[in-house]
């Protein structure tokens, strides 16, 4: 057996390594685990960044080749959530559940088949949250920004915005000195939200431009991009002082060039805040020089299913169908809209995923994100730890790759988000997926972004967000790679 | 071989396949031998020549597929330039290089590449080399008093090589100087160095100046106006410029300055992976002919096709050839 301690938190790291060894030896003695399986068993003590997530405190992952087999070969423990002293019982229960799940007899209500997490129904919940944000906020009684660490978005930090404006103004000044200042200066905000940052940025730019007498402001063409038309509409009233310079564009953050191809190589500044961490993602495992896909299927435990059915007045047999209806039509899935909201929030809170590892050799047509091939990923992983589970950051990679062609030769991309900047960091923490209010959050695999960027002609740099103490946010920015 | 009106050619490089990129990187990681890589290069160069012939180009190159990028192939061969061979992570990266002493005269070995091209095509061959200004921009200068002095010595070495190429049968030589566009303030000495490079070289000399194609994206933006009138002092016969991606606004400069050179007109956008249609190419050529007479126009892509996938690159070349055919017919040329 190999025990991996994948975090550096000591204070609440229950169970301890000794607890794990004692529990496994006890189960071995009770024949819940056989000696042959014991030899191959790998146990991971993780610390999930988000207490609200999709895992049970102890999960048992059955590798594809063991389908139908009796014993687990991988156990992951969320050290943060296992009660001290309760590990043996929790582990026994998890192993029994895994065996039962193989026979579909664990009492769980499955909501989908196994597939990569990016295809999971969980992302439909995420989409519903953003579509019906106001209703969620009204029901929960708090604006979504309150769910963010620090209670507000780092995107609205006045000092950070002032520095960003000053940097951009300097670029324009340099272009002007070289006779290369375009008559129209295009800027793009991806995921404009309520428009608060755009307004603050433009206010500050107008002020600086006035102070320095440069008259760049009238040249600005500020593109407010968001996938939600209603969000765009709301943002327009926020930037009303600058409307003549602003265009609102319905934009898929995954593919900005699709909408803006007419601005290829023309945009001087692209910015986004807290967008990448909320784009569809999935995980892979690097083990024995092979890549395994982590497949997932969402479920509710039997206990949660029964509780929610009673609470919301849904027949247990109709539960799965009602959940799918929720994702189609929202809280109107139930005749009583209030119950519908309650149903949504309770199901989301209870939503869990079972996992299975699938060898990529079994799925030769597996789609890799744009800019990354299996061969390239294997090359990158040659320098990674031998045993590693990490985010592929599929949505972030796609968005990044599909944004770069928009950049003017002197243009740059800035992304404020939460990044894992070195693959080795994945052996010291587990960075999602977590639940942030009604949405999904994953740290973004900055190490992979860096590799993809280099092949696309950019270097990327991560600067810790210095404007809020203890912020975990970094600012990614691109520079031309020679 | 007599060329038709509006002859077609590549700027130099052809599509670099992903598998060849990996093999080149494998070579740097010492996973394959130099002999194996040379053999692979010979094979892909033959394929690139064949593709150009099938596409119908009148003037062909070797596709530059032996080269890692437009700089290193030459710096490796320039005596006196010290290369840090551990500085590459990916084959396409630039070496770190520096000059710490005077660059001595020596052969660069480009004649061998040209002879290989000559052996495998009966079309008009063209060899392309990176010019001294662009090479100088990638070298850390620790010896010469300034960049112009370094570039001058590089030009002297390369001048000898160009003469060797002419002896081997080269009649068309293209000098690539994209860094002019990034450093227009260098143009004054850049043209002087260019003239040293081509002094006494008995071949048609083209100079290709674009706005960069590193990683398939532009490195700079602006107008070709910076070239004039200084470029008119260059002892060259052809100026090759990009117009497909940037539009034809700068064509007016040819009229304004009564430019005596042939124009290598870029009519294929190499920064998109969408193949043009022959009609679009024909439209772009017609626009060029509003400013330059047809007997002084050569048709080519904006820059090398290095970053364009092979099937798209081939489709673009085909469209370029067909577009040229359309216009030749319109102006009554019967060379097709």
Q: What is the DSSP string of B184-232?
A: GGGHHHHHHHHHHHHTT--SEEEEEE-S--GGGS-S----GGGGTTGGG
Q: Are residues A3 and A94 in the same domain?
A: yes
Distance from CA of A180 to the nearest CA of B (A): 6
Tell me if A226 sits within 8 A of A251, measured CB to CB.
Answer: yes
Is 90 exceeded by the pLDDT of residue B39? yes
Select from A106, A131, A159 the last residue of a domain.
A106
Residue A242 is assigned to a structural domain of this protein: yes
Select from A106, A130, A156 the last residue of a domain.
A106
Residue A413 is assigned to a structural domain of this protein: yes
Residue A293 is assigned to a structural domain of this protein: no
Q: Which of B157, B261, B268 is nearest to B207 (CA)?
A: B261
Q: Answer whether A265 sits within 8 Å of B221, measured CB to CB.
A: yes
- A86 membership: H or E segment, kind and range: none
pLDDT for A319-367, tens place per residue?
999 999 999 999 999 999 999 999 999 999 999 999 888 888 877 778 8
Distance from CA of B170 to the nearest CA of A (A): 32
pLDDT band at A62 (very low <50, low <70, confident <90, very high): low
User: Can you tell me the distance from the alpha carbon of A108 to that of A187, in angstroms, rounded to the nearest whole number?
Assistant: 49
CA dihedral B210, B215, B220, B221 (to 10 degrees): 80
User: Which positions 374-413 of A are in contact with B (Cβ < 8 Å)?
Assistant: 375, 379, 404-405, 407-410
φ/ψ of B20, rounded to 5, equals -75, -35
Q: Which residues of B touch A404 (CB under 8 A)?
A: 217
Q: Does B140 touch chain A (CB under 8 A)?
A: no
Q: Which residues of A touch B216 (CB under 8 A)?
A: 457
Of the candidates A179, A379, A482, which has its C-beta nearest B94's C-beta?
A482
Residue of B nearest to A182 (CA): B222
User: Can you tell me the distance from the alpha carbon of A250 to that of A256, in angstroms, rounded to the nearest whole number?
Assistant: 10
Q: Which residues of A touch B221 (CB under 8 A)?
A: 180, 182, 265, 408-410
User: Can you tell me the distance from the alpha carbon of A35 to that of A18, in angstroms, rounded to the nearest whole number?
Assistant: 19
Q: Does B123 touch chain A (CB under 8 A)?
A: no
Residue A328 is assigned to a structural domain of this protein: no
pLDDT of B305: 98
Distance from CA of A291 to the nearest CA of B (A): 19
Exposed/middle/buried for A257, CB within 10 Å: 0-12, 13-18, 19+?
Answer: middle
Listed range (A247-251, A384-388, B268-272) with the worst mean pLDDT: A384-388
Which of A184, A403, A457 best tests the B interface by mutation, with the highest count of B CBs <10 A? A457
Of the candidates A178, A265, A373, which has its C-beta nearest B217's C-beta?
A265
Q: How remote is the C-alpha of B65 from its chain's centroid?
A: 12
Residue A130 is assigned to a structural domain of this protein: no
Q: Which residues of B touch A454 (CB under 8 A)?
A: 89-90
Give the list of residues 6+ apart from residue B175 with CB closer than 8 angstroms, or none.
Answer: B128, B129, B130, B131, B194, B197, B198, B205, B206, B207, B208, B236
Distance from CA of A218 to the nearest CA of B (A): 21
Q: Which residues of A touch B211 (CB under 8 A)?
A: 409
> Omega into A15 within 30° of 0, i.e. cis?
yes
Q: Are residues A93 and A1 in the same domain?
A: yes
Q: Comparing A75 with B181, which gets the higher pLDDT?
A: B181
pLDDT band at A70 (very low <50, low <70, confident <90, very high): very low
Token pair of A105 as six digits: 């007899």
Is 90 exceeded by the pLDDT of residue A264? yes
Is 90 exceeded by the pLDDT of residue B76? yes
Q: Are residues A264 and A402 in the same domain?
A: yes
Q: Answer whether B90 sits within 8 Å of A454, measured CB to CB.
A: yes
Distance from CA of B183 to the nearest CA of A (A): 10
Of the candidates A373, A404, A408, which has its C-beta nearest B221's C-beta?
A408
User: Can you tell me the distance from the alpha carbon of B186 to that of B189, in angstroms, rounded to the nearest whole number?
Assistant: 6
Is 80 exceeded by the pLDDT of residue A133? yes
φ/ψ of A277, rounded to 5, equals -70, -5
- Strands A115-116 and A290-300 come out as antiparallel
CATH number, domain at A164?
A: 3.40.50.150
Q: Answer whether A409 sits within 8 Å of B94, measured CB to CB.
A: no
Q: Does A150 touch chain B (CB under 8 A)?
A: no
The predicted model gives A141-165 an average pLDDT of 83
Q: Answer whether B215 sits within 8 Å of A456, measured CB to CB.
A: yes
Q: Does B101 touch chain A (CB under 8 A)?
A: no
Q: Does A459 touch chain B (CB under 8 A)?
A: no
The predicted model gives A239-261 an average pLDDT of 95
Residue range of the domain that includes A22:
1-106
pLDDT for A352-362, tens place per residue?
999 888 888 87
Of the candidates B90, B220, B272, which has its C-beta nearest A409's C-beta?
B220
Q: Does A481 touch chain B (CB under 8 A)?
A: yes
pLDDT of A71: 46
Q: Does B212 touch chain A (CB under 8 A)?
A: yes
Token pair of A10 as six digits: 């000591």
Of the candidates B25, B94, B221, which has its C-beta nearest A409's C-beta?
B221
Residue of A nearest to B69 (CA): A482
Tell me if B130 sits within 8 A of B176, measured CB to CB.
Answer: yes
Q: Are residues A467 and A391 in the same domain?
A: yes
Q: Are residues A10 and A77 in the same domain?
A: yes
Residue A385 is assigned to a structural domain of this protein: yes
Q: Which residues of B touch A455 (CB under 8 A)?
A: 90, 215
User: Can you tell me the distance from the alpha carbon of B123 to that of B130, in angstroms, rounded to the nearest whole number?
Assistant: 23
Is 50 exceeded by the pLDDT of residue A68? no
Q: Are residues A93 and A169 in the same domain?
A: no
Q: Answer whether B211 sits within 8 Å of A480, measured CB to CB.
A: no
pLDDT for B283-323, tens place per residue?
999 999 999 999 999 999 999 999 999 999 999 999 999 99
Distance from CA of A457 to the nearest CA of B (A): 5
Of the candidates A180, A379, A404, which has its C-beta nearest B221's C-beta?
A180
Q: Are residues A71 and A167 in the same domain?
A: no
Residue A301 is assigned to a structural domain of this protein: no
Distance from CA of B211 to the nearest CA of A (A): 10
Q: Are residues A253 and A151 in the same domain?
A: yes
Q: Does B183 touch chain A (CB under 8 A)?
A: no
User: Can you tell me the distance from the alpha carbon of A390 to that of A282, in angstroms, rounded to the nearest whole number?
Assistant: 9
Q: Are residues A399 and A271 in the same domain?
A: yes
pLDDT for B147-186, tens place per residue?
999 999 999 999 999 999 999 999 999 999 999 999 999 9
Is 70 exceeded by the pLDDT of residue A395? yes
Q: Does B30 touch chain A (CB under 8 A)?
A: no
pLDDT for A449-464, tens place per residue?
999 999 899 999 999 9
Q: Answer whether B218 sits within 8 Å of A264, measured CB to CB.
A: no
Strand partners, A224: A189, A248
pLDDT for B235-285, tens place per residue?
999 999 999 999 999 999 999 999 999 999 999 999 999 999 999 999 999
Of the candidates A182, A375, A405, which has its C-beta nearest B22's C-beta?
A375
Select from A55, A76, A106 the last residue of a domain.
A106
Q: Answer whether B218 sits within 8 Å of A409, measured CB to CB.
A: yes
Q: How many domains does chain A have?
A: 2
Residue A98 is assigned to a structural domain of this protein: yes
Q: Are residues A161 and A49 in the same domain?
A: no
Is 60 exceeded by the pLDDT of residue A66? no
Q: Answer whether B222 sits within 8 Å of A180, measured CB to CB.
A: yes
Q: How remote is the C-alpha of A213 from its chain's centroid?
A: 42
Q: Answer whether B221 sits within 8 Å of A182, measured CB to CB.
A: yes
Listed range (A176-180, B123-127, B146-150, B164-168) with the worst mean pLDDT: A176-180
pLDDT of B119: 97
Q: Are residues A151 and A99 in the same domain?
A: no
User: Can you tell me the distance from the alpha carbon of A413 to that of A479, in angstroms, rounded to the nearest whole number?
Assistant: 8
Q: Which residues of A touch B89 (CB under 8 A)?
A: 454
pLDDT band at A105 (very low <50, low <70, confident <90, very high): low
pLDDT of A69: 46
User: Can you tell me the distance from the alpha carbon of B63 to that of B47, in angstroms, rounded to the nearest whole number?
Assistant: 9
pLDDT of A57: 87
pTM: 0.90
Neighbours of A246 (CB within 10 A): 24
Q: Are residues A102 and A154 in the same domain?
A: no
* Average pLDDT value for chain B: 95
Give the list of residues 6+ apart from residue B218 with CB closer than 8 angstroms, or none.
Answer: A265, A409, B211, B212, B245, B271
The predicted model gives A48-66 an average pLDDT of 78
The predicted model gives A244-272 an average pLDDT of 95
The predicted model gives A113-138 an average pLDDT of 92
Three-point CA angle B9, B10, B15, nearest 5°:
145
- Strands B262-268 and B297-301 come out as parallel
Of the candidates B217, B220, B222, which has its C-beta nearest A457's C-beta?
B217
User: Can you tell me the distance from the alpha carbon of A468 to that of B326, in angstroms, rounded to the nearest whole number?
Assistant: 64
Neighbours of A122 (CB within 10 A): 22
């Amino acid at each position: 057996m190999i025990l991996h301690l994948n975090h550096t938190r000591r204070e609440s790291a229950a169970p301890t390594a000794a607890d794990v060894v004692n529990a496994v030896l006890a189960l071995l003695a009770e024949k819940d685990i056989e000696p042959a399986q014991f030899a191959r068993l790998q146990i991971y003590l993780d610390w999930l960044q988000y207490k609200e997530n999709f895992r049970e405190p102890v999960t048992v992952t059955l590798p594809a080749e063991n389908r139908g087999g009796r014993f687990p070969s991988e156990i992951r423990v969320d050290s943060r959530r296992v009660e001290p002293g309760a590990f043996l019982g929790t582990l026994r229960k998890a192993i029994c559940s895994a065996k039962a799940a193989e026979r579909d007899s664990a009492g769980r209500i499955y909501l989908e088949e196994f597939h990569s997490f990016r295809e999971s129904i969980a992302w439909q919940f995420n989409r519903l949250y953003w579509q019906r944000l106001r209703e969620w906020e009204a029901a929960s009684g708090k604006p979504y920004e309150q769910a963010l660490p620090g209670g507000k978005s780092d995107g609205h930090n006045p000092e950070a915005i002032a520095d960003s404006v000053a940097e951009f103004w300097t670029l324009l000044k340099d272009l002007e000195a070289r006779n290369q200042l375009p008559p129209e200066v295009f800027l793009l905000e991806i995921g404009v939200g309520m428009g608060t940052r755009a307004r603050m940025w433009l206010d500050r730019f107008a002020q600086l431009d006035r102070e320095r007498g440069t008259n760049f402001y009238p040249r600005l063409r500020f593109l407010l991009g968001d996938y939600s038309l209603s969000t765009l509409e709301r943002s327009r009233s926020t930037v009303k002082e600058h409307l003549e310079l602003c265009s609102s564009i319905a934009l898929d953050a995954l593919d900005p060039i699709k909408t803006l191809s007419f601005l290829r190589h023309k945009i001087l500044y692209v910015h986004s805040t807290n967008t990448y961490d909320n784009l569809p993602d999935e995980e892979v495992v690097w083990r024995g020089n092979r890549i395994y896909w982590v497949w997932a299927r969402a479920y509710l435990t039997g206990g949660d299913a029964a509780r929610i059915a009673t609470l919301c007045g849904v027949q247990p047999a109709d539960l799965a169908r009602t959940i799918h209806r929720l994702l189609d039509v929202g809280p109107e899935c139930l005749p009583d809209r209030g119950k519908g909201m309650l149903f949504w929030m309770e199901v989301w809170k209870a939503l869990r995923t079972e996992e299975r590892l699938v060898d990529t050799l079994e799925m030769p047509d597996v789609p890799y994100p744009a800019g990354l091939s299996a061969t390239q990923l294997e090359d990158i992983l040659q320098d990674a730890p031998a045993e590693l589970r990490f985010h592929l950051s599929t949505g972030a990679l796609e968005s990044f790759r599909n944004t770069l062609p928009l950049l003017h030769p002197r243009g740059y991309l800035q992304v404020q988000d939460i990044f894992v900047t070195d693959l080795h960091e994945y052996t010291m923490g587990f960075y999602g997926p977590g639940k942030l209010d009604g949405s999904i959050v994953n740290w973004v695999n900055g190490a992979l972004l860096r590799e993809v960027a280099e092949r696309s002609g950019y270097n990327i740099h991560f600067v810790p967000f210095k404007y809020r103490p203890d912020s975990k946010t970094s600012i990614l920015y691109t520079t031309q790679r020679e | 071989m007599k060329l038709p009106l509006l002859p077609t050619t590549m700027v130099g490089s052809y599509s670099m396949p992903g598998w060849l990129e990996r093999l080149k990187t494998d070579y740097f990681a010492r996973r394959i031998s130099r002999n194996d890589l040379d053999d692979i290069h010979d094979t892909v160069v033959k394929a690139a020549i064949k593709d150009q012939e099938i596409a119908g180009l009148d003037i062909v190159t070797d596709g530059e597929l032996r080269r890692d990028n437009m700089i290193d192939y030459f710096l490796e061969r320039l005596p006196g330039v010290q290369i840090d061979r551990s500085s590459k992570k990916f084959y396409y990266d630039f070496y770190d290089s520096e000059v710490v002493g005077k660059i001595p005269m020596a052969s660069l070995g480009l004649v061998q590449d040209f002879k290989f091209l000559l052996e495998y095509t009966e079309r008009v061959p063209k060899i392309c080399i990176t010019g001294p200004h662009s090479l100088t921009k990638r070298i850390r200068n620790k010896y010469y008093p300034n960049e112009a002095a370094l570039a001058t010595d590089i030009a002297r070495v390369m001048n000898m090589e160009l003469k060797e190429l002419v002896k081997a049968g080269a009649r068309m030589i293209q000098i690539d100087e994209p860094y002019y566009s990034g450093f227009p303030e260098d143009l004054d000495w850049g043209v002087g160095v260019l003239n040293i490079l081509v002094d006494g070289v008995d071949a048609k000399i083209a100079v290709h100046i674009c706005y960069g194609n590193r990683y398939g994206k532009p490195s700079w933006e602006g107008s070709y106006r910076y070239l004039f009138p200084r470029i008119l002092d260059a002892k060259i016969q052809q100026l090759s410029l990009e117009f497909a991606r940037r539009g034809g606004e700068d064509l007016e400069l040819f009229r304004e300055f009564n430019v005596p050179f042939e124009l290598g007109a870029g009519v294929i956008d190499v920064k998109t992976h969408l193949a043009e249609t022959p009609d679009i190419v024909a439209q772009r050529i017609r626009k060029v002919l509003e400013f330059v007479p047809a007997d002084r126009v050569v048709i080519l892509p904006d820059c090398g096709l290095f970053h364009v996938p092979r099937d798209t690159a081939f489709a673009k070349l085909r469209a370029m050839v067909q577009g040229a055919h359309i216009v030749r017919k319109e102006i009554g040329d019967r060379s097709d």
